[in-house]
Chains A and B, each alone.
Chain A
Amino acid sequence: NAGVTQTPKFQVLKTGQSMTLQCAQDMNHEYMSWYRQDPGMGLRLIHYSVGAGITDQGEVPNGYNVSRSTTEDFPLRLLSAAPSQTSVYFCASSYGPKVGYTFGSGTRLTVV
């Protein structure tokens, strides 16, 4: 089992560019989430999904889109990158509600 795989590990974007952060899990987990981590602020939920075809917004969804066409994949799209989106992004998955997540290793994104 690879667990939760995120690509790329590092990315630099120019303001206004778009890109997709990839997340895949091979544990057949129904629940998947995207978090961003900024210094001194812990992790904040961007979007989450409780199964294929179902997504919902978290605490900080503006500027991001998600889709969940398969159980395995949960990509995060930045529509028009802004410097405020400079952060470390983590994808996580779990088999159900109220259980611990398995996190990926993160994508460090810099927007200049």
Chain B
Amino acid sequence: GESVGLHLPTLSVQEGDNSIINCAYSNSASDYFIWYKQESGKGPQFIIDIRSNMDKRQGQRVTVLLNKTVKHLSLQIAATQPGDSAVYFCAENANYGQNFVFGPGTRLSVLP
């Protein structure tokens, strides 16, 4: 289930199950979104992106869904593996250039 920890919301899933990580973004003018994965002690790593002219985009084992009506983004990870344990961030961009606004992150914990 999903719970709010001291600093980050945490999602715990069983290995092999599907994971859904949610993100509410703030700016209705945002037209480009990215999901990043951050493992402990490392920098964020690009997973997948989506532009506002799309509702869904699929990658390898990951799918991003965008609902502009309610300003909501989700990341679905199929058949979650132990290596998926990390903190996941969504980032939105509204301006021309690289002014990305990052969400606070969600910690995904994969249980054996």
Contact = CB atoms under 8 A, between A and B. Distances in A.
A107 to B, nearest CB: 10
Contacts, number: 65
Contacts of B91: 43
Nearest to B98: A31
B47 to A, nearest CB: 9
Contact of B104 (A40, A58, A92, A100): A40
Interface stretch (A14-22, A44-52, A65-73, A76-84): A44-52
A94 B98 contact: yes
A74 interface: no
The winner among B6, B44, B89, B99 for most chain A CB atoms within 10 A is B44
A58 B99 contact: yes
A102 B43 CA distance: 9
A101 B41 CA distance: 18
A101 B91 CA distance: 11
Contacts of A100: 34, 46, 49
Contacts of B8: 40
A35 B99 CA distance: 11
B74 interface: no
A40 B97 contact: no
A21 to B, nearest CB: 14
